Structure 1
């Protein structure tokens, strides 16, 4: 993997981590209001899970394979 590729992946990773934190905050804020929108929370949680999976994938690409 070239340095440009790695830098691009690290940049995407940082953006995804920030979006993941923002979604956490948004979900918490919505849940604190009564009544809250279950469908909206469900969509945000689904997006959060997608982001978490993408973060894991990028971390795997950036971490060299270690033969145990």
Structure 2
């Protein structure tokens, strides 16, 4: 199951958002409230994993490591 990142939605200017992670099924609805405090939350969209791929055989260092 994937781990999702959420953050609290500040209710006033003095509050800072607090991030937390939770494991959920992909079919589960996104949380709307913090599971412990009940404070409103939103899901944070994060980037995925990027794997560099070289179009040149051997890349920049001729070792075949795809670093180019």
- TM beyond 0.5: no
TM-score (normalised: structure 1) = 0.22
TM-score (normalised: structure 2) = 0.22
User: Which one has a larger percent helix, Structure 1 or Structure 2?
Assistant: 1
- Name which one, 1 or 2, has greater alpha-carbon Rg: 2
